[in-house]
Structure 1
Amino acid sequence: MTCPPRSNRGRHRRRTLPTTAGARTATLKAAGDLHGEDGTQYGAVAAAWSAVNMGPTVNAG
C-alpha cells in the first residue's frame, strides 16, 4: 500500500482512523454484548477508558 501524497496525509488519516470516542463506544458495546453490562469484563473495559480520561468508571458486579 502506498502512502497518499504529503498534502493529503492528514485528511487520509482523519478519514480512516476511528475516533477515540467511537472506539470507546464500540469496545464498551462489544463487552456488554458478550458479557453483559453488569459483568466484570464490561467494568474492566470501562475502567481502562476511565484511566485514560475517557469517561466515568462504571461499577460492575
Structure 2
Amino acid sequence: MTGREQRRARVLNRILMGELTMAEGSTELGVSERQLWRLRAAFVGAGPAGLVHGNRGRTS
C-alpha cells in the first residue's frame, strides 16, 4: 500500500471507532464527504485492500 492508502486506512479506522466524524475525516483527507462514504464502504467490504487503486498491477 502507498502512503496515501495507509493514511486513508488510519483515518477510516478512527471513523469506524467513533473518534472522528465523516466531516472531520473528509477534511483531514482532502476529499468530499460523499467520496469518503465510498471509501468507507470499500474499506468495510474488503479491508485495506479495498483502498488500493483498481489499476494496480495492470500492464500498460
TM-score, normalised to structure 2's length? Answer: 0.36
Which structure has the highest helix share of the two?
2
Greater relative contact order structure (CA < 8 Å, 6+ sep): 2
Name the TM-score, length of structure 1 as normaliser: 0.35
